[in-house]
Amino acid sequence: MADNKQFVHLHLHTDYSLLDGAIKIGPLAKRAAELNMPAVAITDHGNLYGALSFYHKMRAEGVKPIIGIEAYISRGSRHEKGGGDLQPGEKATNHIVLLAKDLTGYHNLVKLSSFAYIEGFWRKPRIDRELLARHSEGLIGLSACISGVPPSLLLRDKFDEAARASLEFEEILGKGNYYLEIQEHGLDAQKRIRKPLLELSKKTGIPLVATNDSHYLMDTDVKAHDTLLCIGTGKTINDPDRLTYGSPNYYFRSADEMWQTFGEEPDLLHRTLEISEKCDVVFPKSIDQVPLYPVPDSHTIESYFEKVSWDGFEERLRDIWQSLQSFWFTASACVEIS
């Protein structure tokens, strides 16, 4: 029966989850093939930077690529910048995982992530419910980690609000396109909401699915990932108050390990395959073509890119010198007056 014990990763951060994910796409594709995984998803924080490379490298290894993002979703409108009035434990920005079922879904992910940067950027690129509703076709949503909307409401003991929010997402994405995620990395918060999530699923009829919030490839990469987090947050390893994941289990776990963790509830694991079967993005050849940018005759596209980068650097350097000079002028004038 070992063959039935499969698992598809639907929640995974590559190194395009900048300074947070430490999984390189090439080695990931090889590892997924080695573990006989039928499919794997990419769900970087708020962006699709790795999508094309992921798509090609996974297919080259015979693993089906599932294209997604872990989007940031604002509590209110994406146009409002700032946290607003927050209750204790409440977050201004939550997470939601979105997976493309088809090419329409992929194009909607492109729109969502672009508008998140153009219109919704406040600390992070954020979408909101209105934008999601406008571009929801072809997408599957998952409730995300403990920073997702329903999980964070459950953590604040707001069961009814969590039910309302879950049903709202289900309505936006369409019935059968929204799932409640259960993660088990050994965190107290995850344990605390385990039972409430089961109850939430019973009450709303929204199915549960097991996920693994993968941030690094092998269990031995935990220290390297921890160091990466330090770089991302401007802390040192010796700082006791720095952000840590609080568990060494955020690696790309095998199906066996996921079955050891969730085996008592096989539906949660079977559902990862069910979702992966619903996702089938096939890119047309033309998607690899980048727009033609005219460059002067004396340049190739690469050499021109380097030239404009240096020109921009010089320009910024000039700005910095100018502001430093005016600072020195003001400072010396102050010394003379005093």
Per DSSP, 121 falls in state -
Q: Is 221 in the site for Zn ion (CB under 5 A)?
A: no
Which position's Cβ is nearest Zn ion? Answer: 145
Q: What mask of x and - would describe binding to Zn ion in positions 105 to 144, judged by CB under 5 A? A: ---------------------------------------x
Which window, 182-190, 207-215, 224-232, 293-301, contacts Zn ion (CB under 5 A)? 207-215
CA distance to 319, 322, 323, per residue, from 311 (Å): 13, 17, 19
- Asked whether position 145 contacts Zn ion by CB under 5 A, the answer is yes
Applying CB under 5 A, among 95, 101, 129, 158 the residue interacting with Zn ion is 95
CB of 93 to Zn ion, least distance (A): 11
10 binds Zn ion (CB under 5 A): no
Query: Does 193 help bind Zn ion (rule: CB under 5 A)?
Result: no
Pick from 53, 77, 104, 147 the residue near Zn ion by CB under 5 A. Answer: 147
Q: CB 84: neighbour CB atoms within 10 A? A: 11
- The tokens describing 11, both together, are 């929640």
Nearest approach, Cβ of 244 to Zn ion (angstroms)? 15
Size of the site for Zn ion (CB under 5 A): 6
- Nearest 10 degrees: Cα torsion 290, 293, 296, 300: -10
Task: Please select the residue that binds Zn ion; options are 23, 213, 214, 276, rule is CB under 5 A.
Answer: 213
Shortest Å distance, C-beta 216 to Zn ion = 12
Is residue 9 a contact residue for Zn ion (CB under 5 A)? no
CA-based nearest residue to 261, from 7, 79, 1, 2: 7
Give Cβ neighbours of residue 315 (< 8 Å, ≥ 6 apart): none
CB of 149 to Zn ion, least distance (A): 11
* Strands 93-100 vs 178-183: parallel, antiparallel or unpaired: unpaired
Q: Which two tokens stand for residue 292?
A: 């033609």
**Could you give the CA distance from residue 249 to residue 186 in angstroms, rounded to a whole number?**
8
48 or 145: CB nearest Zn ion? 145
Question: Rounded CA gap, 6 and 208, in Å?
Answer: 17
Contact set with Zn ion (CB under 5 A):
70, 95, 144-145, 147, 213
